Amino acid sequence: AQTVTQSQPEMSVQEAETVTLSCTYDTSESDYYLFWYKQPPSRQMILVIRQEAYKQQNATENRFSVNFQKAAKSFSLKISDSQLGDAAMYFCAYISGSARQLTFGSGTQLTVLP
């Protein structure tokens, strides 16, 4: 069974600084996708970034980028120039190419300090 592990329950970062959230996963599949979702205090789940396993290039979305290490099964999220609005719970998630449901990590609560 696939598992997703987020080893940092809480992280904090100073506004305008950079922070990296860690995520590791376990799978025997070769075709899969990885995601970072953000859940702010409103509790609306928002897609931050998506990575296809077959792509070697790390995905980027503005201030958000990932470090995808396929052999190490690691998928970390880097947030640059952190803003107060980035404060949220961040979930790493996995889905295989043939599956329909996501497997979520336990989440990392990010606090942005002014």
Q: Is 62 in the site for another protein (CB under 8 A)?
A: no
Q: Is 97 in the site for another protein (CB under 8 A)?
A: yes
Q: Answer yes or no: are the C-beta atoms of 34 and 28 closer than 8 Å.
A: no
Among 28, 56, 62, 101, binds another protein (CB under 8 A): 101
> Judging by DSSP bridges, how do beta strands 108-113 and 10-14 pair with one another?
parallel
12 alpha-carbon distance from chain centroid: 16
Among 45, 58, 64, 74, binds another protein (CB under 8 A): 45
Q: Is 109 in the site for another protein (CB under 8 A)?
A: yes
| Number of Cβ within a 10 Å radius of residue 11 | 16
The residue (of 16 and 54) whose beta carbon lies closer to another protein is 54
Q: Is 90 in the site for another protein (CB under 8 A)?
A: no
Residue 33 bridge partners (DSSP): 52, 95
Footprint of another protein (CB under 8 A)? 33, 35, 37, 42-47, 50, 52, 89, 91, 95, 97, 100-102, 104-107, 109
